[in-house]
Amino acid sequence: MNKMFTILSVFIFSFCSSLSQTISPGYLLNESLGGLRLQSFNNDYNFPELVLGITDLNIPGNAESLQFYTNWSDLELNVLTLEYDSGNDILHVFINSPSGSNFVPDKPLEEYHLYYLNFSESLPGKGKHFSAEDMDFLHIIINNNDINCLVLLSNIVLTDSQGNLIALNLDFSESNEWSVSDIDLSGDFKLVANLKLNGEFETSNLSNVTIDFGHRIVNQPPDCSQAYPSSMMLWPPNHQLVNIKILGITDPDSDPVNITIDGIYQDEPVNEKGDGNTEPDGFGLGTSIAMVRSERSGKENGRVYHIYFTATDLIGNNCSSEVKVGVPKSMGLNGYPKDDGPLYNSTIAFLNEGNLLLDNDDFNKITISNGELLSEVFPNPVTSDASIVLKGNYNQFVNVDVLDLMGNRLFNIFNGIVNAEEQLNLKIKFSDIKEGIYFIRAAGEGTTSIKKITIIK
């Protein structure tokens, strides 16, 4: 069992009234908790009514509460004992009355076993993570609201399973509240306290004892193990983009889950012979839905897309995995796509000129420059600052980015209108960029110009 930070405090709600409700032994309390059970023993005796109840407070932030009511009769002293068995996740609750009483025999009045949540069930908002190891603190609350039914608590003793003292004895407090803080429990523990009723009361007097269990609720990440795509096979190979949603994600805490597409790869080149000369083949990075192209090379064994994603809950816990989408070579018996692995990035395109990499974005139409957009970069190589000259032969929106050697966009230099025959001069500051080979990409409306630039220090 993990070490637990424990706070013990006590209140008693004492009412000079009676309660006529009875709950049978073994009653399953609040079935929505899926296994929180109080079980009664010593049922051979005709004891006073003992009513069990459970308060299911909001978690996280609050605690579970075990409540029980006792008709104290005219006894002047009772002993409340809490004994925690960490090996079996059971809390024993004893109420002992003094020896010689004509009302209650000299033995535990009732023994209750508190079983923690059933680990075999997945529970809304809690999941399978609730156990004794999650317990942070224990509140025993005993409060007195009626001066005619005064409840006294004294001699609080908290020991470990070997009887070693953990907390010092505490005497009655005028505030009727006791606290012991900063207690580390690494295993079984036992708490014993004296409860005493003084004052004018009837045998039907009712005292409410509340035991609160505070928990360190450990939120669990989503489960990606059963993820699957909304479409596993694409047909016909008509080069159209198809939306692919990630399905099958679950969360043990029933938290809402957000999906983010991290990457899309495929086992064929993005512009292979016989695939229609369309690229790139994947879109949707950073969104919740991937888009892949329904196409494959007619000369290969079909295409398989690998779509990588991350599922994140509201707490920020996440899991990552992949789903696969295939495009068969044919619909015949031997046309099922064979997966050769995630070899090519579906979201970038290989240009025919210079075989340079381009990542796709809204401004990059992935077409080859036809002289409609001219860009020049100088000096080249560059040590700190460089200039770029843009000139187009018609009015167009132009987006200028700096790319690394793999075609990833590092930052934007300019986006705006370049008028026909206008020459636009831009300054680029490279002093904060490490040396290496980079590309300046100017993407216009249907045209793209790329220049390689070398940075030296």
**Residue type for position 161:** S
For residue 16, pLDDT over 70 is answered with no
* CA of residue 2 relative to chain centroid, distance: 21
Superfamily of domain 354-455: C2 domain (2.60.40.150)
What pLDDT score does 200 carry?
41
Mean pLDDT confidence for 161-166: 60
Burial status of residue 296 (CB atoms within 10 A of its CB: 0-12, 13-18, 19 or more): buried
More confident residue, 172 or 394: 394
CATH architecture of 228-349: Sandwich (2.60)
Q: Which residues contact 91 (CB under 8 A, 6 or more apart)?
A: 82, 83, 84, 85, 112, 113, 114
CATH topology identical between 228-349 and 354-455: yes
Of all residues in the chain, the percent with pLDDT exceeding 70 is: 40
For residue 341, pLDDT over 50 is answered with yes
What pLDDT score does 251 carry?
92
Q: How many CB atoms lie within 10 A of CB 172?
A: 15
Q: Partners of 448 in the beta sheet? A: 443
**347-366 residue pLDDT tens:** 875 433 332 333 333 332 22
Mean pLDDT (the chain) is 58
For residue 207, pLDDT over 60 is answered with no
For residue 406, pLDDT over 90 is answered with no
**43-55 residue pLDDT tens:** 222 332 222 222 2
Instruction: Quickly state the pLDDT bin for 453 (edges 50, 70, 90).
Output: confident
For residue 456, pLDDT over 50 is answered with yes
Structure tokens at 394: 């018609």
**Which of 42-51, 137-146, 184-193, 197-206 is predicted most confidently?**
184-193
Of all residues in the chain, the percent with pLDDT exceeding 90 is: 16
What pLDDT score does 310 carry?
94
Inter-residue contact 449 to 377 (CB < 8 Å): no
Ordered by start, the domain boundaries in the chain are: 4-215, 228-349, 354-455
Which residue in the block uniquely carries the two structure tokens 């001699």?
A: 155
